[in-house]
Amino acid sequence: MDKLLIFLCFLVTVSAIFLPQEEPCDEEEQPSNCPKVPNGNCEEGWKNFTRPSGEWCMKVFFEKFINQTFAEKKCQEVGARLSSVQDQYENFYIVYTFLDKIYPETGTILIGAKRTAACMNGGISATCNGATSFEWTDKSANGTEGFSWASKQPDNSRRITPGGQACALIYASATLYLGPMRSGTLDDVACDYDSFKEGDIYNTPKAYVCGKKPKV
């Protein structure tokens, strides 16, 4: 019951931010009184965000047990890239969209971030930390607010993945934590990591986020 109440509060809060507030109406009976929800220049089904670099369109796609390479190819098929995350507003939207569909399940979402060449071989250090270890692959986001890493991450652990962890995902759970990781935070993983094969229930990707500039 406590978990359900937490999730319902989460949905109410986020719905107030992301869902349209107009009164419902019948588009066939009152077409002039039913304006479309503002979505910038993004296509139907894509969410519009205004970034310092300009308009950005994002969409969450659902598919289980995929890795970064496969997800990137799927995004390219729709003219996009695995998306970066500009700030906490975008992060909140991604997590909400994910949980709204899969609740009461939990899982992770693949995003477009890669470890930098300078930080490929080591763990966290003064020069390789949460602000410098990774970069956004789509070159759209800037700054470091989108890199909201989980505690002690990105550690480039080689205990589970000997080749290191050069890709990233977002944890999503209706409760505050998914295993040891706080919901909404990022973790680094191997780009070809097979969570199903490894029996890793916490890192199982169930979705990926694509992003692209609108066609104008």
Give the torsion through C-alpha atoms of 97, 98, 102, 107, to 10 deg. Answer: -160
Amino acid at residue number 151: S
Mean pLDDT of 188-194: 87
Mean pLDDT of 122-142: 97
In this predicted model, what pLDDT tens digit does every residue of 8-34 receive, in sequence order?
Answer: 444 444 444 444 333 344 434 444 554
Where are the chain's structural domains? 2-18+43-212
> Which strand (E) or helix (H) includes residue 98?
helix 88-102
Phi, psi of 111 (to 5 degrees): -130, 170
Q: Picking from 26-40, 101-115, 124-138, which range would have the lowest pLDDT averaged per residue?
A: 26-40
Distance between CA atoms of 18 and 13, rounded to whole angstroms?
A: 9
Distance between CA atoms of 37 and 213, rounded to whole angstroms?
A: 19
CA distances from 167 to 37, 85, 157, 163, 202 (A): 34, 14, 12, 12, 16
pTM for the complete prediction?
Answer: 0.83
Nearest to 119 by CA among 155, 145, 147, 143: 155
Cα atoms found within 13 Å of the Cα of residue 34, Cβ hemisphere only: 8
Percent of the chain with pLDDT over 90: 67
| CATH among 3.40.50.720, 3.10.100.10, 1.10.579.10, 3.40.1160.10 for 2-18+43-212 | 3.10.100.10
> Which strand (E) or helix (H) includes residue 68?
helix 68-77
| pLDDT value at residue 186 | 98
